[in-house]
Structure 1
């Protein structure tokens, strides 16, 4: 694990100043047991709940944030309890809360295939969230996005290429998503033995992966999901959240098999609490409780909705910003009407208040080291360096003919395209509100590649309804290299907006064709999207020397690109891998409303994609050898290990992402064609072999059998090890090894 940034920051402070809190603080001592720090948090939480009236509890459950009517949770002056704001976005930086360090979008971080960088970004994010929270509270500001209840990470499966929120996810694989979520949780919440820096909220639970608006709205959509697909595709990464120690979950807008996510007792109680042992809180997505009445027509009245969602397992309501309806304000009336018991309501508030205990709210200020973080950490040198490193690690090299790296300065280059100097569209959804002085566009970052740089946007925005062909043709004449920057941005690919197709937006296709045809030098294509887009013309063209999928790299875009194109260090040698299948054309794209997994994601897709899951090139090449599966024969319930050797036999030092997959040869039920069960990003010095050992755990061998659950069946499991997914036909800079083991 990387060195704790919190410790670095904390050790810089030689004088501890107690924060001034604008509201009356709790008085400590033996007045109330919930204020007694010698008692356990469980004991203190129970005492606090016993001292609250039903009306007070109701407001703590009804005010999860969401505008002036949705939050904050109100103060309780008679007990010295302050207001508390839950509504905070922390996906990869402190979102919507003023200037903060902005890190690459989640889908790009997934491409890095690195648990270390996820941990570090979550840690840095939480440090800035806590620092800004301390500042906000000192000034009496409890509005949205000032709190500590981080509504992150997003670990829904990227099951469809056109979904508007693909960019917020960790891709299409449950194992990769779950592992990254686990390390995000650990990094964000911290490793203090008493307190958490902030609380994580894994979302959106569950089977939420489009549509947003096409062909129907997410507020009314019903995902019809088999129990097998639910258990093997949509739930595993959420279980990793529980195992990783997440304090919160957020339920989704959609219905699952006819029941709204926030009223779904099968998900919120049977699976989450009973099967997995989750002890934390569940908060609704914004307005989801009300939408169960007005859009899903699942409940007939406010009282029915309040009672039904509480019974199902919901603890906290996040309101619809700008609307007065907070359905949970009627919980008390539901109790009076006999629709709920007060005992259950008191049970539901427990994890809410316990989490606030763990955040240190009810302890003396000086006990909690996180209380002394201040806004000097925002955009610190170290945090900016992490942003650059994360972007460098996230770029996927899709095509390379040997042009790169650029080791000598060029005379003339052209940088063109609507994403070349479009700072806000490089950030992606749910970004920190970064001061644009900290943001480096491709134009700014890559201009030092040459003595002279020609520039033309070609289109004023990514919709590219109008195309200035002449400016582009002028820019790409008499240049050594043309760098073209294309993509979607948040106008086309975003929350509430699904894409209609995988084609380049507007006239960007014509722009690309013109650059390929008329550029005087070779072309480097930089793609800025969340999901796949049709760039087959560039993939096939000999004029295009290199293609990078850059996702939305945020504030360090240009700086990171320069490092990668020039191979400034071994870490800048491309090693990222696609966290999703890049479909070739629209004929491969399924109906978004179909939630069966047939022909979706690499696990079930039988076609030939443009680029497969797990794909990515390097400036170097790697050789895998000496694969040993130990033991080769096991009983059900045993684990095995895959051990192998990797050597970098290319030209440059660099990272390699080794991947381990399995397939079931004779299962009695439907299984994925292939399943990722292990990965590791490792640095490799030229010609110095390293030995890697990765486990394959018993639960990863299990198949789902309806009415029985997960079962490890007798049979043969095939194992694939390499820098790619199995049977990959697209060119790659490493080989793949195959073995197997037997379960008796």
Structure 2
């Protein structure tokens, strides 16, 4: 036995050594060679078919070269997304509200730590599917020009300078500063002139003036390319000046490649090349090209190296037809393989420093603490009548009402990861005041004028009250169940790397749930089932709902015309293939919202905290939403939904103080609320620690200092048409009307005074830098942060913006103390657009240097500068 064991071990060692030597036989695997030589060697070994396969996001394995498959598609908008357990930070728009690019950099350094730890674990487990790579398609640096755009929450707001600074911080945090290897890739998207509407993005042609293009839509992209060395740029769905962005010579060749010298990867948005040529009666498309071959050829020759989608399969036929040469593909492939080598994908782990990051960093206590810190920093106090906030921790009774109070997934926003624990706003309040009676009632939903009364208690099975569950470690219900039990309710997710049930796979499994529903009343009973991958719902022998969908998930509803006392067999089948699993099921009956009953329930509380606003289930990317005021993820107006407004009015009529905690990813018209409520705190979608952050602010353990990265308009009447991309009348830079809350606005529990502002020189030439220094004194009794903002007003450019942000600094100042801060301005801060030459220039003349706590004229003081 001993001899056989030794012989086997020796053979194993010989086999491993042989494989290792085989890998090193190829020069492209030699980490000591120049990358250009390695790329040349690899390209020389590929067939045309293999080359085409490597130009789409789902690249197949090349087994003869021992190259595993790789999916370029990964997300990290505010934490590693869609790949199970991760720390979930506040949504991007909330990170912008911190006005703290240094802490945003630190946040994304944390995110890239988690990304590397997860990637190396996936590699060890030989898991190569989507969301498990190192190429992250973030940040979204489009300008949030109109609050109706549902994806605006993914951006850093309406200002080009703030967006640039935040975007640079994100890219540097993700890509790292190792001299040889990139930590991960970041991607500047969506290039360019892209910010809604969602419903027509596959056919929309954006037309803007050259001035708006260069002064609003391009600056952030230019900064990420030239300053942050971003490694990927994603071209947008829409057309620009008649050509789809992913084949736009002007955007991709003239500006990006030639003017900015960008020589890295350009990739398409997902399905964007399909929009060139496919005909779809349900989703109108550009239809600028007759077929996939011409569309793919045009995209590649215009510089789009990588397609998210499958149209590039047609490149093989395009080569056969002489439309494109194999050498044209090599141009793109050099960029793609160089990128993978610079990420260390072809090198041994011991050569890549990031491989040593342990998996224990994922959602570590330190990372969760940073999520809390960023949530606190992001929240914006909009109103505080008679300084009702902070609340006393000695209150006897607090009422919490509203659709966002106990909703954990709302706090995750979109493009999110899955934390193992989320603190809801209700949780945070209860934890903050353990000796206070805190009562909670939903009151109303986001938009519906009815509530759903749960009837789950009327479902039984042979296992007891609930559904009998059976789980199989395959997607076809084959063999014996690996687990059987009782599901009292169906709210499952593997998002936090937790199993549906013991012994069940995290992926590639199926589940069957069976039971019987006894109708407690006659009439309409609503069955709702939602989840990703595949699910089926049967009532009796009839299949009443079915879905086969992608990672975004799907929701299906079925109305049963029930008879009281009748029994209805239920069967649910769930088939999960990849990514994080999710399944939810409910049986309920609609009941009208009773505003007065809710008010009566809470009227004896010392204070009422209403937690409302909207939800990432209402605003977002091309969503199937048809609620009043919403369309495909966008909004038709910016009003608070009627049901919430009526609920808040009824609560205010009790005579008790009402504090409104608003959760949103975009600006809301809070006119009545601003006039009548006692306090308003904008909490955004604050991530997994948002509940603690809200409670810290409400009860005075943290002094709020977030600032609005977008203008809060009074109504859409203050806005141009949604589809008009010209900037006239939009954002604080061009708006002449008075908004509800201005860009850069936010209150504090203390007060600050700006003093002793001065310039390094009152007169400079066009090539000189300028330093602005000023003192800020905390004149109140509470320590706090102040966000000083610096704007340039250029009277020499009458067509330009009214003012433009060119500096900001968030500074912590103790009560009674004074801090001196400075802003360093380069000539670029004074740039204006020359309409004749269509270039940026510094014009001689007098300029106003404005400084203060917001963009509102009443908040700003002025210094005068002359540029010769």
Q: Which has the larger radius of gyration?
A: 2
Deviation for aligned residue 1:463: 4.2
The match for 2:759 among 613, 629, 632 is 629
Give the structure 2 partner of residue 103 of structure 1: 89
Q: How does 1:610-621 map onto structure 2 within 5 Å?
A: 610-621=740-751
Q: How does 1:307-706 map onto structure 2 within 5 Å?
A: 307-319=297-309, 326-401=310-385, 402-435=387-420, 438-447=421-430, 448-449=432-433, 451-465=436-450, 466-496=592-622, 497-520=633-656, 522-541=657-676, 544-568=677-701, 572-667=702-797, 670-706=799-835
Give the structure 2 partner of residue 56 of structure 1: 50
CA distance in 1, matches of 2:408, 2:593: 20
CA distance in 2, matches of 1:432, 1:159: 27
Deviation for aligned residue 1:40: 2.9
Q: Please tell me whether the aligned partners of residues 482 and 519 of structure 1 are also in contact (alpha carbons under 8 angstroms).
A: no
Q: Please tell me whether the aligned partners of residues 769 and 826 of structure 2 are also in contact (alpha carbons under 8 angstroms).
A: yes
> How many residue pairs end up in the alignment?
690
CA distance in 2, matches of 1:109, 1:351: 32
Give the structure 1 partner of residue 576 of structure 2: none
Q: Please tell me whether the aligned partners of residues 462 and 491 of structure 1 are also in contact (alpha carbons under 8 angstroms).
A: no
CA distance in 2, matches of 1:341, 1:144: 30
The match for 2:241 among 238, 253, 257 is 257
User: Normalized per residue, which structure has more strand?
Assistant: 2
CA distance in 1, matches of 2:816, 2:129: 56
CA distance in 1, matches of 2:20, 2:175: 24
1:91 matches 2:77: yes
Structure 2 residue matching 1:262: 3-state secondary structure: helix
Q: Please tell me whether the aligned partners of residues 625 and 737 of structure 1 are also in contact (alpha carbons under 8 angstroms).
A: no
Deviation for aligned residue 1:370: 1.7
Structure 2 residue matching 1:611: 3-state secondary structure: coil
Give the structure 2 partner of residue 112 of structure 1: 98
Deviation for aligned residue 1:334: 1.7
Structure 1 residue matching 2:665: 3-state secondary structure: coil
- RMSD value over aligned CA atoms? 1.8
| Per-residue CA distance 1:46-74 (angstroms, 9 max, x = gap) | 33333333322211112x1xxxxxx1x12
Gaps in structure 1 of 5+ consecutive residues: 1-21, 65-70, 320-325, 729-734
Q: Please tell me whether the aligned partners of residues 456 and 471 of structure 1 are also in contact (alpha carbons under 8 angstroms).
A: no
Q: Please tell me whether the aligned partners of residues 70 and 129 of structure 2 are also in contact (alpha carbons under 8 angstroms).
A: no
The match for 2:289 among 299, 312, 323 is 299
Structure 1 residue matching 2:86: 3-state secondary structure: coil
CA distance in 2, matches of 1:689, 1:25: 66
Deviation for aligned residue 1:177: 0.4
Q: Please tell me whether the aligned partners of residues 155 and 170 of structure 1 are also in contact (alpha carbons under 8 angstroms).
A: yes
1:78 matches 2:64: yes
Q: 1:507 to 1:32 in 2, by over 3 A?
A: same
The match for 2:218 among 215, 227, 235 is 235
CA distance in 1, matches of 2:79, 2:20: 31
Give the structure 1 partner of residue 522 of structure 2: none
Give the structure 2 partner of residue 737 of structure 1: 861
Q: How does 1:77-226 map onto structure 2 within 5 Å?
A: 77-213=63-199, 217-226=200-209
Q: Please tell me whether the aligned partners of residues 476 and 519 of structure 1 are also in contact (alpha carbons under 8 angstroms).
A: no
CA distance in 1, matches of 2:323, 2:822: 55
CA distance in 1, matches of 2:863, 2:133: 50
CA distance in 1, matches of 2:185, 2:320: 33
Deviation for aligned residue 1:25: 7.7
Give the structure 2 partner of residue 323 of structure 1: none
Structure 2 residue matching 1:288: 3-state secondary structure: coil
Q: 1:664 to 1:727 in 2, by over 3 A?
A: same
CA distance in 1, matches of 2:19, 2:374: 40
CA distance in 1, matches of 2:612, 2:445: 12
Q: Please tell me whether the aligned partners of residues 26 and 362 of structure 1 are also in contact (alpha carbons under 8 angstroms).
A: no
CA distance in 1, matches of 2:175, 2:333: 21
Gaps in structure 2 of 5+ consecutive residues: 1-15, 279-284, 451-591, 623-632
Structure 2 residue matching 1:239: 3-state secondary structure: helix
Q: Please tell me whether the aligned partners of residues 446 and 643 of structure 2 are also in contact (alpha carbons under 8 angstroms).
A: no
| Per-residue CA distance 1:479-504 (angstroms, 9 max, x = gap) | 11111111110232111111111111
Q: Please tell me whether the aligned partners of residues 661 and 726 of structure 1 are also in contact (alpha carbons under 8 angstroms).
A: no
| Per-residue CA distance 1:479-534 (angstroms, 9 max, x = gap) | 111111111102321111111111112411101111111143x1111111111112
Deviation for aligned residue 1:333: 2.4
CA distance in 2, matches of 1:244, 1:472: 52
Q: 1:475 to 1:519 in 2, by over 3 A?
A: farther
Q: State which drifts further: 81-90 or 309-318.
A: 81-90
CA distance in 1, matches of 2:37, 2:212: 40
| Per-residue CA distance 1:429-469 (angstroms, 9 max, x = gap) | 1111233xx11111111124361012111114554555232
Q: Please tell me whether the aligned partners of residues 191 and 236 of structure 2 are also in contact (alpha carbons under 8 angstroms).
A: yes
Deviation for aligned residue 1:184: 0.6
